[in-house]
Amino acid sequence: MSKFLQRIKHVSKCGVLCILAVAIFCGSMQCVCNKTANATDGLDITSKSAYLVEASSGEVLFAKNETEHLPVASMVKMMTILLSLEELEEGNVELGTLITTTENASSMGGSQVFLDPYVDYTFEDLLKSVIMASANDASVALAEYFNGNENAFTNRMNKRAKELGMVDTHYSNCTGLPAAEQYSSAKDTSIVLKEILKHDIYHKYSTIWMDTLVHPSGRETELVNTNRLIRYFDGCDGGKTGSTNEAGCCLGASAKRNDMRLISVIVGAENSKTRFNESATLLNYGFKNFQAEKLVDVTSAICNIPVSKGKVENVDAYATEDFTAVVKKGDNLGYDVSLETEAVVKAPAKIGDKVGKAVITKNGNVVKEIPIVLKEDVKHLSWFETAKEIVEKW
C-alpha cells in the first residue's frame, strides 16, 4: 500500500460504510500546490515565461508568467503533430500512406527538409521530419493532406485547442512562422505536449538523434533532432523547440525517471543555450525535490462487489484512469480515497458498465473523481440455474 495513502473508504450507495484499508502516514499535510517554486527556491529563470508540471497529477512545480500570451515559434507544430497522431490512431492514415506534396508546401521557408513538389512522400517520413527536424514544409504538406489547405487545418487546430482547455492559445498557421493573432502560453504548451506523449508511436521518432530522409528522387537530407536534451538529459524522450526573432528561443520538453514524468516549457529565452539550460534546470529541480506515488492504478482491481442473480457471486471493478500524488521530498502528504459503489451489481451487466466512482480528496477538498467500471461481462442465471440455487439453499 502507498505510504502516502492516509486511508481508503468504501461507501456503498445504500449508505453502508466499511473501512477497506487504513494506512496512516504521520505528519503535517503539505500541499504541493502551495509550494510552487519561485526565485526563493534557488531557481533563476530569465526567460519570459516558464512552467514545470508533473504530467500524471497535473501538480505545478514551477510557474512564471505561465498564462501570458506570447509567440511560441515552432512549438505551434505540437498541435500539428498531435492532430497527425490522432489521425493515425483513428485509422484515417497509415505510416506507409503516400502524400503528394504541393508547390506551396515545398516552398515554405525557415526550418525545412527541402521537399520536392508534386511527388509522393510517406506519411511516416513527413511526420518524422516535423517531430525531429521541425520541418515547415512537411507540416504544411500534412495540413494540406488532412484538410485540403492550411487555413482549414488551422481552424481544426484551434478547435482541438479549445477541447483541451487551452484558453490562452490562438493559431494562425500550422508552422509557427510569424503571423498576426498567433500566440500561446507556457501552460497551454504543456497541455498539448502531454496529449502528444500519450501516443506511444511518437517516441519512436522523438528519441532519434540523427536520421536521413531519402527523397523519391534519391536525394538525401540529413535529419538532426532540434531537441538536444533527448541526447544529453537523462530520461528526456520528447519535446519541441522553436525560435524566431519575435518569439526568442523556446522549448517544451518532457523527461521520465522511475514513475514520474515531468514536462517543462520555456518561452522567450534570449538564446538557444539558455532555453536548454533553463529547461534542464527545471527538470533537475523537479526530479531532485519531488517524488510521485501512484494511489489509483487502472491495472489492479480497486474493489470487489457482490453480484445479484448472476453466475458469479462477486465481480472485480476497476478505475478508468490512474491517479498519482506528488509530494516534495521530506514533506508529508495525506490523501483520502473514497470508493462510492453500487451495493450490488445486478446481472446481467456488461464490460464498461459504471458501478461507482473513486473520490480523491486532499485537505478535505475533492481533487479528482474517477469512474469505476466492470472489465468483464456478468451473466444472468437461467431459470433452471435460479431454481437449482433456491433448492440448494433451502
Q: What share of the chain is helix, strand, coil (3-state, %, to 5)?
A: 30, 35, 35
Written as one string, the DSSP assignment of 2-41 is -TTEEEEEEEETTS-EEEEEE----S-B--GGGG-B-GGG
Closest CA to 324 of 304, 299, 344, 296: 296
Length of the chain: 394
Inter-residue contact 342 to 13 (CB < 8 Å): yes
- Of the residues 84, 134, 184, 279, only one is catalytic, namely 134
Point out which residues pair with 222 in neighbouring strands. 212
Digit-by-digit pLDDT tens for the chain (394 residues) are 343 343 345 555 543 333 333 232 323 333 333 345 554 467 999 999 999 999 988 999 999 999 999 999 999 999 999 999 999 999 999 999 999 999 999 999 899 999 999 999 999 999 999 999 999 999 999 999 999 999 999 999 999 999 999 999 999 999 999 999 999 999 999 999 999 999 999 999 999 999 999 999 999 999 999 999 999 999 999 999 999 999 999 999 999 998 899 999 999 999 999 999 999 999 999 999 999 888 899 999 999 999 998 888 899 999 999 988 888 887 766 678 999 999 999 999 999 999 999 999 887 889 889 999 999 999 987 655 555 555 566 5
Catalytic residue among 12, 47, 57, 74: 74
**Catalytically annotated residue among 77, 194, 362, 368:** 77
What is the rounded CA–CA span in Å between residue 151 and residue 341?
Answer: 48
The structural domains of the chain, ordered by start, are 5-30+297-393 (2.60.410.10), 45-292 (3.40.710.10)
Specify whether 77 is catalytic: yes
Identify whether 28 is a catalytic site residue.
no
| Distance of alpha carbon 82 from alpha carbon 252, whole angstroms | 14
Annotation says 256 is catalytic = no
